Amino acid sequence: MNSLIFSVGRGAIVLLGLPAPFVLALEPPVRALSADRPDSTESPLTVPRGMWQIESSFFSLTKDDTGGTDFESWVLGETNVKFGTTSQSDLQLVLQPYVHERERTAMGLAEAHGIGDVEVRFKWNLWGNDGGGATAGGLLPYVKIPTGTDVSNHEWEGGLIVPFGWDLAENLGLGLQAEVAQNFDAGVGHYWALSYTAVLGVSITEQLGAFIEYVGTVSELPYESLASAGVTFQVNENLQFDAGGLLGLNNPSEDFTLFSGVTFRFK
């Protein structure tokens, strides 16, 4: 999302006691930092024009034990590199520098590692980018490009994400998202999936925030249901740390995922 940060971070900076010429010389305020991590609900807000924003995971650990198969995945340094192309849009490149997967079955242990697949994304804010209301919405089409490594599924995938953010109160934000995607599974081939999320974020202090989230996915495969929770700590207007996790609520979902990361921006 970050619908919580969308809610918490928006505000005016009042300059008191400064000479008028100095105030006039200041640049217009940049919109509040808004990241697509750490929750699954994307933010409808874009990176300001001409600025770079890096959203990087220190690590992500996923585990799943289903039907006699014990699966574990480590992803290190997954990074979304964003650039503000216009006042209402940004271009994004998602990279996975290192992925390590391990699968244990009755037949033995199989391991794979390498560079993960690459995603190219484009976010277009429909309204609410620079305030003026309690809500914001956007569109985020994307395509996944296979790298062909041992951890790649060797298939093109893609979809469209529609995020929505709503400031319910001064310290409370709601994020909603719908996503239609064409994915690939070795058992069924290419298939269409509809996922939806709802996240509630609260500002605990000016710097510390927390969120809880629900994620559901409907497709040809069994329904997946997950819950997510985490915290964010905003050091300043351009730097934020996060940590959290996801918990599978039914058998087809992965058991759990733990993650931690950072978001920062610059010109």
Model pLDDT, residue 18? 41
Give the pLDDT band (50/70/90) at residue 219. very high
Model pLDDT, residue 67? 81
Model pLDDT, residue 95? 98
- Say yes or no to pLDDT of 4 above 90: no
Are 138 and 124 contacting, i.e. CB atoms less than 8 angstroms apart? Answer: yes
Q: For 86, left (φ over 0), alpha (ψ -120 to 50), or beta? A: beta
Handedness of CA 126, 131, 133, 136 (dihedral sign): positive
Give the pLDDT band (50/70/90) at residue 19. very low
Per the DSSP assignment, residues forming a β-bridge with 46 are none
Model pLDDT, residue 59? 97
Model pLDDT, residue 15? 33
Give the pLDDT band (50/70/90) at residue 196. very high
Token couple for 122: 């484009």
Model pLDDT, residue 27? 52
Q: The whole model's pTM is what?
A: 0.88
Token couple for 149: 């490594």
Are 62 and 256 contacting, i.e. CB atoms less than 8 angstroms apart? Answer: yes
- Name the residue ranges covered by the structural domains of the chain: 3-266
Give the pLDDT band (50/70/90) at residue 7. very low
pLDDT in tens, 60-93: 999 999 888 999 999 999 999 999 999 999 999 9
pLDDT in tens, 138-184: 999 999 999 999 999 999 999 999 999 999 999 999 999 999 999 99
22-36, 179-193, 215-229: least confidently modelled range: 22-36
Q: What is the mean pLDDT of the chain?
A: 90
- Say yes or no to pLDDT of 12 above 90: no
Residues 111-130, mean pLDDT to the nearest whole number? 96
Which CATH architecture group holds 3-266?
A: Beta Barrel (2.40)
